[in-house]
Copies of this chain bind each other. A is one copy, B any other.
Amino acid sequence: MNYTIIDIANISGVSKSTVSRVISNSGYVSPAAREKVLTAIEKLQYKPNAVARAMVSRHTKNIGVIIYRQHHPIASHPFYGKILDAILEKASELGYSIFVMTDKEITSKSADFLLEKRVDGLILISRLNQELIDYFKSSQIPFVMVNGTSDDSNVIHLVNDDERGGELAAEHMLSLGLTRIAVFAGPQEHRSHFLRLKGFRKTYSQNGYEVDENHIYYADSSQFEEGYKAFQSIWERSHNLQAIFATNDMIALGVIKAIYEKGMQVPKDIAVVGFDDIDYAAMSNPSLTTVHSAKTRMGHEAVLMLDEWIHGNTRQTKMQMFTPELKIRNSTKIEIMEGLS
């Protein structure tokens, strides 16, 4: 069914070595021989067997991407999926194929699977624990972490400067005079949510406003439903909120929906600021003011750095941090509040 290099050799009347040289474009091959081989390849629609090639060359040109996440969606997630899209794009440019796996549990199971497939490297997305990080380190496989947790400065990881992002959100809200606020924070064991909240509180604090712990709602997950439900619960505690900061856009979108269902409007009654700048932030009604995180750049850079490692080069700085950017949209389009506190 599939032809081999030997078939091509026989048809074109040369040895398999010569065919190999033609395919890999290396060594000496006479124009006549090359011509004959090329015609035979074309005629039989011969495709070199990458499995056999990997067998001898000891590398597959395959990269594994594992997204650690408990809830759907995963690939179609507006944040993680966006990173994946960027990975796919850059990998294709560099000639890699990508295995995508999703894993609900933070264990080595998926990775072992891909390790058996002999991938050249691994890209790990989202939070994983130190035990797993140590496992990857000991396995000798080149790997990079995207948007994950690690204080281990020896591990390549690409993250958003979430603390700075939190500050940006706070600065914006402060500039609008919004001081009666609430925060809807995603799971604090996740680096991003933790730092976003931290930066936000710090900035408010530095400006003389402590964020009341009673006005911080800690969500169990970072999903839409969480923001939606959470708003009801916090609303009962405090009726005179001016604004809400959510540590990601999905939560913010859930909050907006809940606000409208209570018969209020954004930003007229309550302003909302999100984080991530997922595609829907711009599309939502009203469009959502948010902090842009470098999803595409993280994905591209992850592949680039992994590729370097695979080729034996490593950079000095293992940690790459991307600067976030504030995107002001309609959900905070208000007159500046004055003299209120």
A50 touches which of B72, B118, B285 (Cβ 8 Å): B118
Q: Tell me whether A177 is interfacial, beta carbon within 8 Å.
A: no
With contact pairs A81-B81, A100-B88 given, residues A52 and B55 touching in the complex (Cβ less than 8 Å): yes
User: How many positions in chain A have a CB within 8 Å of any CB in the partner chain?
Assistant: 54
With contact pairs A88-B74, A102-B89 given, residues A118 and B49 touching in the complex (Cβ less than 8 Å): yes
Chain B minimum-CB-distance residue to A117: B50
A84 and B75 contacting across the interface, CB-CB below 8 Å: yes
Name the distance in Å between A119's Cβ and chain B's nearest Cβ: 9
Chain B minimum-CB-distance residue to A118: B51
Name the distance in Å between A8's Cβ and chain B's nearest Cβ: 14
A101 and B92 contacting across the interface, CB-CB below 8 Å: yes
With contact pairs A47-B116, A49-B116 given, residues A81 and B76 touching in the complex (Cβ less than 8 Å): yes
B99 and A98 contacting across the interface, CB-CB below 8 Å: yes
Q: Tell me whether A186 is interfacial, beta carbon within 8 Å.
A: no
Binary contact track A248-260/B, C-beta < 8 Å → 1, others 0: 0000011011001
CA distance A77 to B279 in the complex (A): 10
A256: chain B residues at CB < 8 Å are 285
Q: Tell me whether A113 is interfacial, beta carbon within 8 Å.
A: yes
Residue from A81, A112, A260 with most neighbouring chain B CB atoms (10 Å): A81
Q: Tell me whether A224 is interfacial, beta carbon within 8 Å.
A: yes
Within 8 A of B (CB), among A85-118: 85, 88-89, 92, 97-102, 112-118
Cross-chain pairs A/B with CB under 8 angstroms, 6 sampled: A74-B88, A76-B84, A84-B100, A88-B102, A92-B102, A224-B283
